[in-house]
């Protein structure tokens, strides 16, 4: 950030006009007179950013109307939002547009503040409070500091017990002397901090009257700024056991003396910065962008909302400040993370020390030396090393312990091939045998099933993030060959969609973990399946060498995948999960129908000879799912 951003300019110096911390009347006059232009300036400055978002938001809105509507025709028209701009060839289209389409569907119900806008916001609230309570601006600021910048709460409390509020904020009783020059008898005084004799004019004190020289004050305040960051603005008098607060104007008063030839505004500037930090960090509705070095503050209207910072690209949740986590809610994510923390040790132990019986799937811990295992549940005999049938181990296979040789296709420790314990059907029946005894184990297996997929997408997401840079490089390469930017930005868009999908998929497993079995979950899993399949395809396409890449194919898959993504998110938003209410079921049925249309489109997107084999682990829609779809239509 350039220093100019923090300059203590006309916009910043707002209400602190009176140098010697004068009374409320002095400070109020010019401040309220000058208020309209000051207030408008930051709003106007913020407008371009909001305007830049408008088209994307409008496009998203269009898709939202078209997507899950009950009418059969609209779903296909939804693709126009991505497809049209793609063919329109507008070079100004940035990656942010892609993401805002994915994440901006709820409409932009939040505001973004730069450093200047934050300062203006502080000035506005201080001015409001000062004029309503008829106190000096600095007193208003101190009281706001002491109650987390909650204007409403302050006004209520102040009306009830003004003196208590003032005392709590470290302010002297109303009507006592202000901070500034200290009262000194004689031309010189001894500073109680540095013990030097200084001219009386150099002595300064807060409202409490405890004097010290301006240089000591400056040193004290810089020390507070260094060690306490945002909380430095809550600094109190240097005297032992004195809780008198340091007002903003006093900082200016001592700032010049502290500078000692360096930037005379340095102290005030960093004080100002700390004040902004305090304001953002303590206000309940504001939150810093978590991106490192990013100075944007976000104001949320509603909690629990994923946003992407326009200036640094960090995607995060306005509600809890953690990384973006749609479609799960903040509280659901908290329970999941707590669970992960609790279970991680157990899960690790199980993965390290146990294997599944290759026949019945029960978890077995090996507690003796021999590799010849006999399952306690189904009596199946197998080899611990390769989990193969023990009957196949003998002289004809080259000795009992030939299986310690690496053959490259061992499935050690991977459990029963093809069994999916968490999913109804396969694998579950075996566990049901001894239901009561195995309940705890089954629950753990269920957790592990979701956890493995959750962490799998998390890792894939990290990898995809690395691809982002490579995509940029490739774009530069291609552009160097003389192609227009619009010809290559499909790469970037594809990568962005891939990243968003990985993130959402990661959290869909958290959601699925907490969902009760039933129709809603089946529909959710169907949407998840479609998205996962399409994401894998896209991921594979994007990893190909540039010369083998088919632009049209990537564009198609980007479009289709983005559509699956928005369908899943919309489905969840519109009550796919929250009880099988009539409306929820209808809308999920609609989005399910829409997704089948998209699936057809996906099939059409695959060119005849193109590689359409999916990775081995990829799930295909089951017959049951197809039946459900038919029913839904």
Partner 1 sequence: MAGLSVRIVKETEKLHTDPVPGITATPFEDNLRHFNVTIEGAEETPYAGGIFRLELFLPAEYPMAPPKVRFITKMYHPNINRLGLICLDILKDKWSPALQIRTVLLSIQALLAAPNPDDPLNNEAAELWKSDEAEAVRIAADYTRRFATG
Residue 191: CB minimum distance to partner 1, A: 9
Distance CA 271, CA 66 (A): 51
Using the rule CB under 8 A, is 386 a contact of partner 1? Answer: no
Residue 190: CB minimum distance to partner 1, A: 9
* Residue range at the interface with partner 1 (CB under 8 A); choices 55-63, 134-142, 212-220, 600-608: 212-220
Using the rule CB under 8 A, is 3 a contact of partner 1? Answer: no
Distance CA 159, CA 478 (A): 67
Neighbouring C-alpha atoms within 13 Å toward the C-beta of 306 = 23
The secondary element (H helix, E strand) that includes residue 85 is helix 80-88
* Of the residues 223, 376, 398, 425, which one makes contact with partner 1 according to CB under 8 A: 223
User: Other CB atoms closer than 10 Å to residue 452's CB: what's the count?
Assistant: 14
Distance CA 517, CA 90 (A): 46
Taking CB under 8 A as the criterion, which residues in 102-141 touch partner 1?
Answer: none
316 contacts: CB under 8 Å, gap ≥ 6: 289, 290, 306, 307, 309, 322, 323, 324
Determine the 3-state secondary structure of 357 from DSSP: coil
Distance CA 571, CA 101 (A): 16
* Residue range at the interface with partner 1 (CB under 8 A); choices 64-72, 76-84, 123-131, 237-245: 237-245
375: burial class by Cβ within 10 Å (0-12, 13-18, 19+)? middle
Closest CB to partner 1 among residues 195, 406:
195
Distance CA 219, CA 347 (A): 54
User: Other CB atoms closer than 10 Å to residue 378's CB: what's the count?
Assistant: 15
The angle, 0 to 180 degrees and rounded to 10, between the axes of the packed helices 266-282 and 214-228 is 40
- Angstrom CA distances, 429 to 357, 374, 433, 446, 522, stand at 14, 21, 7, 14, 19
Using the rule CB under 8 A, is 210 a contact of partner 1? Answer: yes
366 contacts: CB under 8 Å, gap ≥ 6: 353, 354, 355, 373, 384
* Of the residues 120, 135, 137, 216, which one makes contact with partner 1 according to CB under 8 A: 216
Using the rule CB under 8 A, is 239 a contact of partner 1? Answer: yes
Using the rule CB under 8 A, is 212 a contact of partner 1? Answer: yes
* Residue range at the interface with partner 1 (CB under 8 A); choices 52-60, 234-242, 339-347, 451-459: 234-242
* Of the residues 219, 489, 496, 525, which one makes contact with partner 1 according to CB under 8 A: 219
Residue 232: CB minimum distance to partner 1, A: 13
Closest CB to partner 1 among residues 257, 280:
257
Taking CB under 8 A as the criterion, which residues in 459-498 touch partner 1?
Answer: none
What would the x/- binding string for partner 1 be over residues 181 to 200, using CB under 8 A? -----------xxxxx----
* Of the residues 87, 92, 240, 616, which one makes contact with partner 1 according to CB under 8 A: 240
DSSP state of 323: B
180 bridge partner residues: 205
The angle, 0 to 180 degrees and rounded to 10, between the axes of the packed helices 95-103 and 80-88 is 170
181 bridge partner residues: 204
* Residue range at the interface with partner 1 (CB under 8 A); choices 236-244, 438-446, 529-537, 598-606: 236-244
Closest CB to partner 1 among residues 210, 551:
210
Taking CB under 8 A as the criterion, which residues in 242-281 touch partner 1?
Answer: 242
The angle, 0 to 180 degrees and rounded to 10, between the axes of the packed helices 35-66 and 115-133 is 120
Total of chain residues touching partner 1, rule CB under 8 A: 16
Distance CA 356, CA 194 (A): 74
> Tokens 């998929």 map to which residue?
505
* Residue range at the interface with partner 1 (CB under 8 A); choices 232-240, 402-410, 416-424, 600-608: 232-240
Closest CB to partner 1 among residues 271, 513:
271
Closest CB to partner 1 among residues 210, 446:
210
Closest CB to partner 1 among residues 194, 483:
194
* Residue range at the interface with partner 1 (CB under 8 A); choices 171-179, 238-246, 529-537, 564-572: 238-246
Residue 212: CB minimum distance to partner 1, A: 8
Closest CB to partner 1 among residues 210, 619:
210
* Of the residues 3, 241, 341, 436, which one makes contact with partner 1 according to CB under 8 A: 241
Where does this chain bind partner 1 (CB under 8 A)?
Answer: 192-196, 210, 212, 216, 219-220, 223, 238-242
């Amino acid at each position: 950030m350039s220093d100019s951003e923090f300059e203590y300019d006309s916009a910043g110096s707002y209400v602190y006009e009176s140098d010697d911390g004068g009374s409320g009347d002095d400070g109020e006059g010019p401040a309220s007179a000058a208020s309209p232009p000051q207030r408008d300036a930051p709003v106007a400055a913020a407008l371009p950013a909001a305007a830049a978002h408008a088209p994307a938001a409008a496009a998203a809105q269009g898709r939202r109307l078209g997507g899950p509507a009950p009418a059969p025709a609209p779903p296909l028209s939804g693709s126009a939002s991505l497809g049209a701009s793609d063919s329109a060839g507008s070079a100004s289209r940035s990656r942010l547009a892609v993401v805002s389409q994915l994440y901006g569907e709820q409409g932009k119900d939040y505001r973004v503040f730069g450093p200047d806008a934050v300062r203006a916001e502080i000035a506005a609230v201080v001015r409001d409070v000062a004029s309503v309570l008829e106190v000096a601006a600095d007193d208003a600021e101190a009281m706001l500091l002491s109650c987390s910048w909650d204007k409403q709460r302050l006004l209520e409390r102040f009306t009830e017990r003004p003196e208590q509020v003032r005392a709590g904020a470290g302010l002297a009783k109303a009507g006592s002397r202000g901070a500034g020059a200290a009262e000194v008898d004689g031309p010189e005084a001894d500073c109680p901090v540095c013990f030097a004799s200084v001219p009386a004019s150099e002595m300064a004190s807060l409202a409490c009257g405890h004097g010290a020289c301006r240089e000591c004050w400056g040193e004290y305040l810089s020390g507070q700024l260094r060690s306490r960051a945002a909380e430095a603005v809550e600094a109190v008098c240097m005297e032992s056991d004195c809780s008198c607060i340091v007002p903003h104007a006093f900082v200016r008063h001592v700032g010049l003396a502290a500078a000692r030839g360096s930037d005379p505004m340095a102290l005030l500037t960093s004080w100002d910065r700390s004040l902004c930090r305090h304001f953002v960090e303590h206000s309940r509705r504001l939150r810093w962008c978590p991106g490192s070095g990013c100075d944007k503050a976000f104001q949320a209207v509603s909690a629990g909302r994923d946003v992407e910072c326009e200036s640094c690209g960090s995607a995060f949740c306005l509600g809890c400040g953690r990384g973006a986590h749609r479609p799960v809610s903040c509280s659901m994510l908290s329970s999941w993370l707590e669970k992960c923390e609790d279970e991680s040790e157990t899960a690790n132990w199980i993965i390290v020390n146990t294997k599944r019986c290759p026949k019945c799937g029960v978890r077995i811990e090996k507690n003796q030396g021999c590799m010849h295992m006999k399952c306690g549940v189904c009596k199946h005999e197998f080899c611990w090393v390769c989990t193969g049938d023990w009957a196949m181990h003998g002289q004809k296979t080259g000795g009992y312990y030939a299986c310690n040789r690496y053959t490259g296709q061992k499935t050690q420790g991977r459990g029963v091939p093809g069994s999916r314990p968490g999913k109804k059907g396969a694998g579950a029946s075996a566990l049901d045998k001894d239901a009561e005894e195995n309940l705890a184990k089954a629950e753990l297996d269920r957790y592990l099933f979701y956890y493995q997929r959750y962490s799998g997408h998390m890792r894939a997401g990290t990898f995809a993030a690395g691809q982002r840079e490579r995509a940029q490089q490739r774009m530069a390469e291609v552009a160097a060959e003389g192609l227009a930017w619009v010809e290559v930005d499909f790469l970037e868009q594809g990568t962005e969609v891939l990243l968003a999908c990985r993130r959402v998929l990661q959290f869909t497993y958290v959601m699925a973990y907490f969902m009760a079995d039933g129709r809603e979950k089946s529909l959710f899993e169907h949407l998840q399946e479609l998205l996962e399949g399409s994401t894998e395809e896209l991921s594979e396409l994007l990893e190909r060498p540039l010369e083998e890449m088919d632009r049209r194919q990537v564009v198609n898959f980007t479009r289709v995948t983005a559509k699956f993504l928005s369908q899943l998110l919309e489905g969840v938003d519109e009550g796919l999960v929250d009880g099988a209410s009539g409306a929820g079921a209808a809308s999920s049925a609609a989005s399910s129908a829409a997704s089948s249309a998209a699936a057809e489109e996906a099939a059409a997107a695959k060119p005849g000879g193109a590689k359409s084999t999916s990775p081995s682990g990829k799930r295909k829609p089951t017959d049951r799912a197809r039946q459900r779809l038919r029913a839904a239509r």
